[in-house]
Amino acid sequence: MADDRAAYRGVEDRAVACYTEERYEDGVGLLRDAMPQLPSWRADLAHLAACLLGAAGRPAEALAELRSAFDAGGWWHRRILVDDDDLASLRDLPGFADLVERSHARALAAGTATRPPLIQRPAGAARGVLVALHGAGEDADDAIAAWSAAVAAGFVLLAPDSSQRNTPTYRSWPDPDAGLRDIAAALAALPAGDQGLPLIAGGFSAGGRQAILWALAGEPGRPAGFVAVAPAIGPAHLDPTQFTAAVARGVTGTVLLGEQDDDVRDDALPAIDGLRRAGLRCALTLLPGLAHAFPTDFPDRLHNTRELTVIRASLKSL
């Protein structure tokens, strides 16, 4: 399964490059070629192909691509079909609305059950718990891999899967309240000896947004602060009524953001500025040349705890 996931991501990266370069036919071709080899990702591949076809001005073909994947057992949450600008040209086609509703019904029937959270512990006494939230289209395995240096720094690493899925394999954090419920369930799975340790919210992209919103909400568990990498957050996601209480609790934050991160930078910067103007201590590091990704030296940053003010503050509080 891990090999298939890596293969899917390779195809996805190439398809997105085709989209960016407006080589729509090339992108559709490579996606269709991959479908027989990656049946578990059939819905994801079809959605990408439909977006390329929609962008190419071929909505009927795009709808046919979705129908074929649906007939093969695939499904999509309503939001991924109706909110995607590349599929806007499909909305008035006969049968599209029906496909959306039938697909959404299948998504609801699939449920929200997740596997138990992944947990890694340091060799000695733990200084705290870092809850690492994966990005959109990722899962807890990705979070464990990205944040594993926290274990060497003395932290229990707790990584839950989001229960929210856009496809059978695509998880994200679109509903913050549902995300908080997932986090609460993950915290309840911690061994009793780890239950009272200081909490840090960590996350990448959509998971970074959820980490920030959890720290501001203060529950469950009242995290001391957050470490967010490339957070997919904007001012509209924030609830200013939470700012005063978060400042009073001493919540601190660290944000790492690539200067070339065109996916989230323009929304994230005003959101972070709003937090700072409200009095929240939030360190921002803009990384030259970095797009929407972890910096290559992230393990060193996390292990050495020199730049991540939230971890440094937690260490001082013990």
For residue 37, the Cα-to-chain-centroid distance in whole angstroms is 26
- pLDDT at position 4: 87
Please compute the mean of the pLDDT values over residues 115-128 and round it to a whole number: 94
Q: What is the mean pLDDT of residues 195-224?
A: 95
pLDDT tens digits, 11-29: 999 999 999 999 999 999 9
Residue at a domain's end among 50, 82, 110: 110
Same domain flag for 69 and 181:
no
Do 298 and 178 sit in the same domain of this protein? yes
Residues 181 and 292 in one domain: yes
Q: Do 304 and 251 form a contact (C-beta atoms < 8 A)?
A: no
Number of domains in the chain: 2
Lowest mean pLDDT among 121-125, 180-184, 267-271: 121-125
127 and 147 inside one domain: yes
Give the residue from 88, 110, 132 where a domain finishes. Answer: 110
Mean of pLDDT over the chain: 93
Question: Are residue 73 and residue 125 in the same domain, yes or no?
Answer: no
Q: How far is CA 100 from CA 75, 79, 209, in A?
A: 9, 9, 27
d(CA 135, CA 261): 15
Q: Are 274 and 133 contained in the same domain?
A: yes
Q: What local confidence, expressed as pLDDT, does residue 312 receive?
A: 57
149 and 259 assigned to the same domain: yes
pLDDT tens digits along 222-234 = 999 999 999 999 9
* Tokens representing residue 22 in the block: 């407006």
Give mean pLDDT, residues 72-91.
Answer: 95
What's the confidence (pLDDT) of residue 113? 86
Supply the CATH number for residue 157's domain.
3.40.50.1820
CA distances from 211 to 182, 188, 314 (A): 12, 17, 16
CATH of the domain at 101: 1.25.40
Domain that holds residue 54: 2-110
pLDDT band, residue 317 (cuts 50/70/90): very low
For 268-316, what is each residue's pLDDT tens digit? 999 999 999 999 999 999 999 999 999 999 998 887 655 555 555 554 4
pLDDT of residue 313: 57
pLDDT score at 305? 56
Mean pLDDT of 120-133: 94
For residue 225, which phi and psi values (nearest 5 degrees)?
170, -165
Residue 24 shares a structural domain with residue 132 = no
| Same domain assignment for residues 127 and 23 | no
Q: Per-residue pLDDT averaged across 250-279, rounded?
A: 95
Backbone angles phi, psi at 177, to 5 degrees: -65, -40
| Residue whose C-alpha is closest to residue 208's, from 128, 156, 282, 276 | 282
- On whether both 91 and 168 belong to a single domain, the answer is no
Structure letter (DSSP) for residue 161: P
Across residues 242-248, what is the average pLDDT? 95
Q: Which of 82, 110, 138 is the C-terminal boundary of a domain?
A: 110
What mean pLDDT do residues 254-280 have?
Answer: 96
Q: Which residue has the tokens 């289209």?
A: 137
Are residues 296 and 182 located together in one domain of the fold? yes
Question: What global pTM score does this model have?
Answer: 0.92
Say yes or no: 170 and 24 in one domain. no
What pLDDT score was predicted for residue 315? 47
